[in-house]
Structure 1
Amino acid sequence: MGMSVGSGSSGDEDGYKPLAEINVTPFVDVMLVLLIIFMVAAPLMVQGVPLDLPKTSAAKVGAQKKPMVVSLAPDGKLYIRDEEVTRESLVPRLMQIKSAEGDGIVYVRADRKIAYGDVMELLGRVGESGFARVSLLSQPPSSGASANN
């Protein structure tokens, strides 16, 4: 009768147990390589294909035109761009400019000492001339100015 002597393993053949951990090192290596590839390739994709474009004498599309600015000076004088106009000729002159240049935005500027009613009257006259988009201009406060001014 012989007695069998065990090898000390608990049922696993050859004493190997499965490893249940994921090795992250190869994954990180691959991700870093991809990151470097994209960092090098991204600027090349933005520039596009280099071309030698032909020259033309055609005018630029959408040439910049001078903005339509209506100003109300502290002395009560009205200006369209740099041209002084009277209160009676403001609406006809704006209509004339609109027919020549098309519809756009009219920027209204007024001195801070001008009464609110005068500014509202000016806005109404600009609206009468047919411009649908009117914007008021202001100046941002300087960094050293207080909030009370």
Structure 2
Amino acid sequence: MALSPILGPNRRSRRAPMAEINVTPMVDVMLVLLIIFMVTAPLLVAGVPVDLPESKAKALDQEQKPVQISLDASGAIHLDDQPVTAAGLSARLAALAASTKEPGGPRIFLRADHRLDYGRVMAVMGEINAAGLRKVALVSTQGEGPR
């Protein structure tokens, strides 16, 4: 008796096309992407590292992206992540006030390091006021209050 192939004498040894989709690799890729975005999202919030003071105030509601003016621990001024000299700040703020159609200008968030001299922060606020910008908010972290 002759040995016949396992599949039988009339069958071919071709595989039938698989009709199911294997979703396990796709789920693995999606989980890796989710972890990457969860880790990188908090790093994209602020461009200039500033140690903010704490406050009991709640966060503000906003519909448009505000202009951020930051003062770091050394007193350097940044306007939306771009360094600005103290002498050039008034010209940049005047151009900002002239470019907007809103009364009082665009919303400005002033972020200053808590170790910075109060007079330095007030000098920047005076420049903002002199440029005709009236919508100024001081940014802080939510916490227990003064240290």
Between the aligned partners of 1:134 and 1:113, the Cα distance in structure 2 is 21
Higher RCO structure (Cα 8 Å, ≥6 apart)? 2
Flag the 1:148–1:134 CA change in 2: closer, same or farther, 3 A.
closer
Flag the 1:111–1:130 CA change in 2: closer, same or farther, 3 A.
same
Flag the 1:100–1:110 CA change in 2: closer, same or farther, 3 A.
same
Shift of 1:101: 3.1
Identity %: 28
What do the CA deviations read for 1:13-63 (whole angstroms, capped 9, x no partner)?
xxxxxxxxxxxxxxxxxxxxxxxxxxxxxxxxxxxxxxxxxxxxxxxxxxx
Give 1:104's match in structure 2, choosing from 81, 103, 106: 106
SS in 1 for 2:87: coil
Instruction: Give 2:91's aligned amino acid.
Output: P
Q: Superposed, which structure 2 residues align to 1:88-103 within 5 Å? A: 88-102=87-101, 103=105
Instruction: Give 2:89's aligned amino acid.
Output: L
What do the CA deviations read for 1:115-148 (whole angstroms, capped 9, x no partner)?
111111111111111101211111112xxxx766
Residue 122 of structure 1: aligned partner: 124
SS in 2 for 1:113: coil
Q: How many residues align?
A: 82
RMSD: 1.8
Between the aligned partners of 2:99 and 2:145, the Cα distance in structure 1 is 42
Residue 85 of structure 2: aligned partner: 86
Structure number, greater radius of gyration: 1
Runs of 4+ in 1 over 2 A off after TM superposition: 146-149
- Alignment gaps of 5+ in structure 2: 1-62
